Amino acid sequence: MALKSVSNANKEAPPLKVSAFHLGKCWFKLINKSGEQEYTLQKYGGKSNVNNSDDKKEEIRRTINFHLVPNMKDLMGARVLTGLNPNDIQQLKDAVEEPNYPKAVSIVQQAAQNDKASFTSPFNEIPVFCIAQMRVRKKDEEGNACGENMLPFHLSTKTMSDTWNEFVKQSPEFADSEATLQLIELHKMIEMMSEDSDIDFRNVVFVHPEYDNVDGKSNNDTDDDSDDDDSGGGGDNGMKADSTSYDDEVSIEPYVSMEIFANDISSGQPTLMQLNN
C-alpha cells in the first residue's frame, strides 16, 4: 500500500519495488539506530560508479529515521483489546453469542476510541500476540517432538488463530477451552529479552505473518529480481509462502500453569471453578 501511494504521487519516478529482509538483522543495524547515524544516499536511478565525479554530486549524507509499520488490522485489533474495560469483555462476548452484532460493533468502536487505549500510532507500535495455553516443539526426522517447549508469538492475529485451530486439532480435549490472549509491544518485548524477567522472553519463537490476500495475490508472490543482496538472508525473493503443514514441522502442545481452583458443589456435582482475582 505504501509503494502504491509513493508511485501514484511520483509519476515520473523510476519503477519501485518491495524487498523483504529479516527483522532481526534490520533491528540492530537500522531500526535500533534510527535517527542517530548518517548514511550516504545516492539519487535513485543514478549512476553506480562512485569514482565518477558526477556521481559524487548526486550523493549526500543524511541522518535517516527508520520506522516499522504494522498491519492495520492487527494494529486496530490491539487498540481495541487495550481499550476494553473488564465489563466490556463479558458484554462483548454475550453480544457475539446472542448474536447482537450492532451491540458488539458499538462496544468495539468505543474501545477503539478509548483515551486509555494503546497502539494509537500508525508506525513503531508493533503488536505481538500470543496465547498462554500453547507451546511448540520442533520435530525430528522421525516426526517425534524434541527439544524444549517454546512460546509462540505472532505478528498477526490471523496466524495466531490458525495456530490455535491447529492446536485444538492436535489436542481435541481443549476444544471447549477459552484461549487466554496476551499482547505486548515489540520494542518492549525485545527490551525484556535483553534482561532478566519472570518470563524468559529469549525462549520464544516468532511465527511469521500470513495476511489476507490482496488483489488476488498471496504471499507466494515474490519480486522478479534474481539477485539476493542479503546472501540468502531474506532479501530479494525472501518473502516466500510457507505451505508446510504445522504437523510436518512442529508439535503444538498444551501448557498448564499452576492456578488456584476450588470445588463448586452448588449444582450437586463437584466441578472445578477457577478463582478470579
- Of the candidates 272, 41, 78, 277, the one whose C-alpha atom is nearest the C-alpha of residue 177 is 272
What local confidence, expressed as pLDDT, does residue 127 receive?
Answer: 93
Q: Kindly state whether residues 97 and 178 are assigned to the same domain.
A: yes
Residue 187 lies in a domain: yes
Cell of 258: 499452576
Angle between helices 86-97 and 101-112 (to 10 degrees): 150
Is the alpha carbon torsion for 208, 213, 218, 222 positive or negative? negative
Q: Kindly state whether residues 81 and 147 are assigned to the same domain.
A: yes
Q: Kindly state whether residues 124 and 201 are assigned to the same domain.
A: yes
> CA angle, 164 as apex, 242 and 120 as ends, to 5°?
85
Residue 88 lies in a domain: yes
Inter-residue contact 133 to 255 (CB < 8 Å): yes
Residue 257 lies in a domain: yes
What local confidence, expressed as pLDDT, does residue 222 receive?
Answer: 41
Q: Kindly state whether residues 106 and 163 are assigned to the same domain.
A: yes
What local confidence, expressed as pLDDT, does residue 211 receive?
Answer: 66
What local confidence, expressed as pLDDT, does residue 161 receive?
Answer: 87
Inter-residue contact 209 to 218 (CB < 8 Å): no
What local confidence, expressed as pLDDT, does residue 258 receive?
Answer: 44
Domain limits at 36?
21-66
Q: Kindly state whether residues 142 and 206 are assigned to the same domain.
A: yes
Q: Kindly state whether residues 45 and 84 are assigned to the same domain.
A: no
What local confidence, expressed as pLDDT, does residue 107 receive?
Answer: 92
Q: Kindly state whether residues 184 and 106 are assigned to the same domain.
A: yes
Percent helix, strand and coil across the chain, each rounded to 5? 30, 20, 50
Domain boundary among 34, 50, 66: 66
What local confidence, expressed as pLDDT, does residue 212 receive?
Answer: 55
User: Longest C-alpha distance within the chain, in Å?
Assistant: 90
Residue 224 lies in a domain: no
Inter-residue contact 70 to 58 (CB < 8 Å): no
Q: Which residues contact 10 (CB under 8 A, 6 or more apart)?
A: none
Residue 154 lies in a domain: yes
Q: Kindly state whether residues 101 and 116 are assigned to the same domain.
A: yes
Q: Could you give the number of structural domains in the chain?
A: 2
At 164-215, the pLDDT tens digits run 888 888 888 888 888 888 889 999 888 888 887 776 777 788 888 876 554 4
Residue 39 lies in a domain: yes
In the numeric block, the cell 486439532 is attached to 169
Residue 229 lies in a domain: no
Residues of the chain predicted below pLDDT 70: 44-57, 199, 211-248, 256-277
- Of the candidates 197, 178, 181, the one whose C-alpha atom is nearest the C-alpha of residue 189 is 197
Give the number of C-alpha atoms closer than 13 A to the C-alpha of residue 154, restricted to the C-beta side: 24
What local confidence, expressed as pLDDT, does residue 206 receive?
Answer: 86
Angle between helices 157-170 and 72-83 (to 10 degrees): 80
